[in-house]
Amino acid sequence: MIVRLSKTFHFEAAHDLPTFPPDHKCRRLHGHSFRFDVVVEGELDPAKGYLIDYGDIKKAAEPLVKRLDHYYLNEIEGLSNPTSEVLARWLFDRLKPALPQLSAVLVYETCTSSCEYRGR
C-alpha cells in the first residue's frame, strides 16, 4: 500500500526579489508569513502500520525553520533570489538526505499563492 504523508511548518521572513522589474512591488523589501509542507511517500510497512514517524519529519525540518525564521532570506546562502520556486528547491535539497522518502515540498508565500517542487 502506497501512502503519502505531509507535515506543515511555518516561519516569518523578509525578502526582496531582485530579478523582478524595478517598479514591481516584490522588488522592494517586504515580508511574509511563510508556510511549507513536507511530503513523504512510499510503501507502508505492514509490520509497523506506518511509513515514517511524523517526529522524524519534524526533526529534519526544524533546523531549517530556525535558519529561516525572522531572517532576511536574501542573505542566506543559496537564497540570493528567494522566489517561492527557489525556496522550495532549497528546502527540498536540504531535507532529502534526512528524508529519503521525500517526494515534494510545497511553499506557501501567501494564503493564495504556492509553489510545489518535486525534485530533479
Is 26 a residue of the active site?
Answer: yes
Residue 27: name the closest of 74, 77, 85 by CA.
Answer: 74
Three cell numbers, residue 11: 516561519
Is 32 a residue of the active site?
Answer: no
Q: Which of 10, 30, 70, 85 is catalytic?
A: 70
φ/ψ region of 119 (left if φ > 0, alpha if ψ in -120 to 50, else beta) reads: left
Q: How far is CA 85 from CA 5, 46, 101, 113, in A?
A: 21, 36, 21, 11
Sign, CA torsion 9/12/15/17:
positive
Is 111 a residue of the active site?
Answer: no
Cite the active site residues: 26, 70, 109
